[in-house]
Structure 1
Amino acid sequence: MATIGDQLQTYRASLEEAKAKNKQSVARKIEQQIKELEEFHQRHPKEAEAPSPFEVFCDLNPSDINCRVYDD
């Protein structure tokens, strides 16, 4: 499995590629993913394995209806 650092490198390479191809909307989306993954990493510094985009979203938006966890 990829580490957070590996995932950030992948995102940054994709960002450079999108900028080179003048794909502004793709570049903005990748910039947002980088920002969110960096925030996740700051909140979980001991976490080594890269989380899925959904895990990052739920970490940043725990009250979202898609992220709620119910105890029985």
Structure 2
Amino acid sequence: MKSIDDHIQKDQSELEAAKATGDQAKLRHLTEELKSLEEYKEHNPQDKHDPTSLELYCDANPDADECRVYDD
């Protein structure tokens, strides 16, 4: 994806398709992903790039070991 808005739009259309087919696993996955993307966008309004799963995780869990940044 080029931007977070494109990713959100794609997930919303896939969510509708999953609802139509009754794919519960995909519905759960897309619902969680959309929630993470929307929270990331809310916390970083100036950032328009499509975040990675690690960026989404670290936005929600800044104190996690995986998200620590060490200065030299």
- Same fold at TM > 0.5: yes
Residue aligning to 2:64: 64
Structure 1 counterpart of 2:2: 2
Aligned residues: 72
Partner of 1:50: 50
Alignment of 1:32-47 (within 5 A): 32-47=32-47
Deviations, residues 33-63 of structure 1 (Å, cap 9, x unaligned): 1111111111111111111122111111112
> Separation in 2 of the partners of 1:65 and 1:20?
39
Aligned-pair distance for 1:16? 1.2
CA distance in 2, matches of 1:7, 1:13: 10
- Structure 1's unaligned 5+ residue stretches are none
Of all paired residues, the percent bearing the same amino acid is 39
Long gaps (5+) in structure 2 = none
Deviating above 3 A after TM superposition, structure 1's stretches of 4 or more consecutive aligned residues are: none
Q: Deviations over 1:1-23 (max 9, x none)?
A: 51111010111111112112211
Tell me how large the CA RMSD over aligned residues is.
1.4
